[in-house]
């Protein structure tokens, strides 16, 4: 553990009495500090009683408890320690002190602390405490007193050195050429210091998806070897580059987005598409469920708005996205029909809300859909199978039905003349994940609904396999051989 | 006992200001009241216990002894051994603190001493305004000149 000392100071153009009047109330920081949402002194004690504990909530989320150790009106100073915090600030003791400036009548304000931090996170935590707590506090109190804030001139080099020291050396899986699982190699990597708009993460869990196989084989030209695959992960923010708002060091975050790079112990990436994980959503659930869950969300709520009474058909209903589609559509009040390849998968699909699993190896699903829907067909068909099913999915549609093609597991779809769709006034969509999840606002809206659904048990993410990150090739073999159930994750 | 406290903000980084004031023999280089200074017995000027012997421009000789010097805290303490001011038990501290907002310096100069009650006001004013604030003003000119 590294010992950290943080010291910040400023000059306030106001008499010391006025500044002390704002600061001396140990419970008053929710009135002036921008990161404090609400605060209360425990056990009904006075806020200037030595030993009292303030319990407060950050706007960012997370609770802290801090205890007042010393308070001196004569010295215009108080000292406090952290009892509980969501960040690894060990043995944190801070002192805030004011001194009069006799030459001019202003106030010198010094805020300093010492604490222990996990190895590698010292600089980032020092920057967090110094800038987002102390300097932000300086500016807020000045604003409270009707004064302008001090523009902080940061010399480029020392500034960078202060917030994030150096590249982090780590390990990860590198795709050195297109090919089978064996082309994934365990190699040394380096996560660079985060630049503007970037953060650096320590991964705690990484999602494995079929698209990773497409990247590995070169079927999707989204990654040029040598490169690190993986589009989904969860972890802890180690440090934050300039201009990143709303994400703090120590935050738990997850993501499902381009570019690839998740198969690594550490990663530096753009912050804009990261999602803050609520307490109830574990890192593993996020890594296993974000890509599939976000896909299910926009398929059911944005590509097509599934509503009560709709009949829907889900191909591969026991698959990863299939399960989520069945669960969620069922909860929305739809009548869910699904295709599956085995009796075991029929059981799984049924357990996830698919009322009518069809064993496509034994029954013709179009006929079966007509039978189940009394000849009407389905309002929407979700088809990620592709070549083998596309035209037949059209046959299973109702008039003015919607065929949503979101993958081609069985191979590329043959060219289609859409003139024939006039027979049903059919609509066809070919959604792209990135077009529905390309902005922070979209990601936020989608994940809000997904996390709510997970919290309420409307959908669940089942983790069928856990592999060490260094065994990613084995995870790909299992996925390719259809030996997996539910989601697979890699653990660094 | 009289206590005098003066403080100011100097628009220069603390290490630069400290380089000027840490020299216990350097008062004539920056303080407007001092004409010349020497360290007795040829001692180094940063050795705790050394004595500076200096003359005022207006006349008068003062001997002061260095009691503490910290390059870590940017501070030093000294006492007056002999002076024409008529003070006893005079101990003063000069301390710099970096102001991280703006890379400036907070300078504090304080003293405690004993003197006849009827002279307290006059001496406090002499020390606080003449010596300390006068020193700040000169330091500001000195470090911001270049």
CATH code assigned at B106: 3.30.530.20
Q: Look at residue A220 and tell me whether its pLDDT is greater than 60.
A: yes
Residues 9-38 of B with CB under 8 A from A: 9
- The boundaries of the domain holding residue B107 are 2-144
Q: Look at residue A154 and tell me whether its pLDDT is greater than 70.
A: no
Q: Look at residue A161 and tell me whether its pLDDT is greater than 70.
A: no
Same fold, A168-291+436-453+463-491 and A308-430: no
Q: Look at residue A383 and tell me whether its pLDDT is greater than 80.
A: yes
Whole-number Å distance between alpha carbons of A467 and A397: 40
Comparing CA positions, the residue from A377, A390, A384, A383 lying closest to residue A425 is A377
Comparing CA positions, the residue from A103, A108, A61 lying closest to residue A85 is A61
Contact A101 B9 (CB under 8 A): yes
Q: Look at residue B17 and tell me whether its pLDDT is greater than 60.
A: yes
Least confident of A140-154, A197-211, A442-456, B79-93: A140-154
Residue A95 sits at the chain B interface (C-beta within 8 Å): no
pLDDT at A483: 80
pLDDT at A156: 36
Distances (CA, A) of B29 to B34, B55, B75: 8, 13, 19
Whole-number Å distance between alpha carbons of A178 and A171: 20
Residue A108 sits at the chain B interface (C-beta within 8 Å): yes
Sheet holding A378-383, edge to edge: A356-359, A335-340, A311-314, A378-383, A397-405, A427-429
Average pLDDT over residues A454-480: 93
Whole-structure pTM value: 0.57
Whole-number Å distance between alpha carbons of B140 and B142: 5
Residue A57 sits at the chain B interface (C-beta within 8 Å): no
Q: Look at residue A164 and tell me whether its pLDDT is greater than 70.
A: no
Q: Look at residue A243 and tell me whether its pLDDT is greater than 90.
A: no
Complex-level ipTM: 0.90
User: Tokens 């039978």 identify what position?
Assistant: A371
Strands (E), A176-310: 184-191, 198-208, 232-240, 252-256, 266-270, 275-276
Where residue A279 falls among pLDDT bands split at 50, 70, 90?
Answer: confident
The tens digit of pLDDT for each residue in A386-445 reads 999 999 999 999 999 999 999 888 888 999 899 999 999 999 999 999 999 999 889 989
Q: What are residue B111's phi and psi, to 5 degrees? A: -150, 150
Contact A102 B101 (CB under 8 A): no
How many CB atoms neighbour CB B142 within 10 A? 17
Whole-number Å distance between alpha carbons of A383 and A377: 15
Calculate what percentage of chain A has a pLDDT beyond 90. 75
Q: What are residue A316's phi and psi, to 5 degrees? A: 50, 55
CATH 3.40.50.720 describes domain A308-430: yes
- Residue B70: CB partners within 8 Å, gap ≥ 6? B76
Q: How far does the CA of residue A196 sit from the closest CA of chain B (Å)?
A: 22
Residue A53 sits at the chain B interface (C-beta within 8 Å): no
> B97 to chain A: which residues are within 8 Å by CB?
9, 108, 110
Average pLDDT over residues A84-100: 94
Where residue B145 falls among pLDDT bands split at 50, 70, 90?
Answer: low
What are the sequence ranges of the domains in chain A?
2-163, 168-291+436-453+463-491, 308-430
Q: Look at residue A250 and tell me whether its pLDDT is greater than 90.
A: no
Average pLDDT over residues A123-145: 91
3-state secondary structure of A42: helix
Burial tier of A482 (Cβ tally within 10 Å: 0-12, 13-18, 19+): exposed
Q: How far does the CA of residue A110 sit from the closest CA of chain B (Å)?
A: 8
Whole-number Å distance between alpha carbons of A356 and A372: 8
In chain B, the N- to C-terminal Cα span, in Å, equals: 40
Smallest Cβ–Cβ distance between B106 and the set A9, A130, A150 belongs to A9
> Pairing between strand A397-405 and A427-429?
parallel
CATH class belonging to A2-163: alpha beta
Q: Look at residue A100 and tell me whether its pLDDT is greater than 90.
A: yes
pLDDT at A162: 33
Residue B73 sits at the chain A interface (C-beta within 8 Å): no
- What superfamily does domain A168-291+436-453+463-491 belong to in CATH? Medium-chain alcohol dehydrogenases, catalytic domain (3.90.180.10)
Complete DSSP assignment for A290-316: HHHHHHHHHIIIIIS---TT-EEEETT
The tens digit of pLDDT for each residue in A308-323 reads 999 999 999 998 899 9
The tens digit of pLDDT for each residue in B41-90 reads 999 999 999 999 999 999 999 999 999 999 999 999 999 999 999 999 99
Residue B97 sits at the chain A interface (C-beta within 8 Å): yes
User: Tokens 């009106």 identify what position?
Assistant: A73
The tens digit of pLDDT for each residue in A46-86 reads 999 999 999 999 887 789 999 999 999 999 999 999 999 98
> B5 to chain A: which residues are within 8 Å by CB?
100, 102
Number of domains in chain B: 1
């Amino acid at each position: 553990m590294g010992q950290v000392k943080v010291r910040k100071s400023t000059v306030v153009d106001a008499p010391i009495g006025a500044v002390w009047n704002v600061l001396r109330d140990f419970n008053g920081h929710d009135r002036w500090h921008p990161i404090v949402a609400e605060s209360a002194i425990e056990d009904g004690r006075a806020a200037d009683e030595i030993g009292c504990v303030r319990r407060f909530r950050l706007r960012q989320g997370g609770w802290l408890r801090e205890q007042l150790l010393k308070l001196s009106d004569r010295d215009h100073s108080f000292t406090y320690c952290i009892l509980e915090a969501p960040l690894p600030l060990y043995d944190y003791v801070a002192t805030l002190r004011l001194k009069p400036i006799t030459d001019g009548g202003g106030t010198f304000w010094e805020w300093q602390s010492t604490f222990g931090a996990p190895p590698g996170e010292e600089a980032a935590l020092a920057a967090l405490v110094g800038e987002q707590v102390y300097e932000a506090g300086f500016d807020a109190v000045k604003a409270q007193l009707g004064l302008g804030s001090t523009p902080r001139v940061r010399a480029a080099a020392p500034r960078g050195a202060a917030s994030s020291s150096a590249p982090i050396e780590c390990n990860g899986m590198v795709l050195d050429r297109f090919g089978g699982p064996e082309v994934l190699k365990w190699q040394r990597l380096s996560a660079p210091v985060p630049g503007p708009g970037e953060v650096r993460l320590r991964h705690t869990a990484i999602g494995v998806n079929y698209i990773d196989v497409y990247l590995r084989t070169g079927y999707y030209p989204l990654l040029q070897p040598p490169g690190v695959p993986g589009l989904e992960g969860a972890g802890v923010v180690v440090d934050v580059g300039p201009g990143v708002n709303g994400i703090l060091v120590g935050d738990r975050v997850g993501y499902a987005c381009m570019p690839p790079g998740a198969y690594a112990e550490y990663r530096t990436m753009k912050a804009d598409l990261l999602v803050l994980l609520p307490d109830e959503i574990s890192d593993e659930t996020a890594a296993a469920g974000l890509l599939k869950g976000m896909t299910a969300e926009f398929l059911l709520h944005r590509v097509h708005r599934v509503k009560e009474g709709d009949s829907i058909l889900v191909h591969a209903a026991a698959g990863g996205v299939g399960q989520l589609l069945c669960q969620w559509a069922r909860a929305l009040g739809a009548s869910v029909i699904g295709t599956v390849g085995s009796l075991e998968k029929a059981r799984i699909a049924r357990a996830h809300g698919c009322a009518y699993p069809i064993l496509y190896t034994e029954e013709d699903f179009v006929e079966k859909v007509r039978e189940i829907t009394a000849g009407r067909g389905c309002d929407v068909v979700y088809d990620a199978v592709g070549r083998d099913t596309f035209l037949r999915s059209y046959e299973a549609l109702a008039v003015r039905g919607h065929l949503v093609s979101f993958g081609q597991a069985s191979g590329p779809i043959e060219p289609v003349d859409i003139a024939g769709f006039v027979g049903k006034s059919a609509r066809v969509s070919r959604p792209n994940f990135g077009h529905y999840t390309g902005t922070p606002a979209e990601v936020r809206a989608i994940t809000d609904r997904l996390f709510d659904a997970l919290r309420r048990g409307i959908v669940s993410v089942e983790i069928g396999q856990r592999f060490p990150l260094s065994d990613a090739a084995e995870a790909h073999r299992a996925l390719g051989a259809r030996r997996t159930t539910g989601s697979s994750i890699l653990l660094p | 006992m009289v206590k005098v406290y003066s403080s100011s903000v100097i628009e220069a980084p603390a290490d630069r200001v400290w380089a000027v004031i840490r020299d216990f023999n350097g008062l004539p280089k920056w303080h407007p009241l001092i004409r010349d200074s020497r360290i007795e017995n040829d001692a180094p000027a940063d050795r705790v216990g050394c004595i500076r012997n200096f003359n005022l421009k207006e006349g008068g000789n003062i001997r002061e002894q260095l009691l503490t010097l910290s390059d870590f805290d940017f501070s030093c303490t000294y006492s007056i051994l002999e002076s024409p001011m008529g003070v006893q038990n005079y101990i003063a501290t000069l301390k710099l603190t970096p102001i991280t907002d703006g890379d400036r310096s907070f300078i504090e100069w304080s003293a405690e001493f004993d003197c006849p009650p009827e002279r307290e006001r006059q001496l406090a004013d002499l020390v606080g305004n003449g010596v300390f604030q006068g020193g700040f003003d000169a330091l500001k000119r000195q470090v911001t000149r270049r």
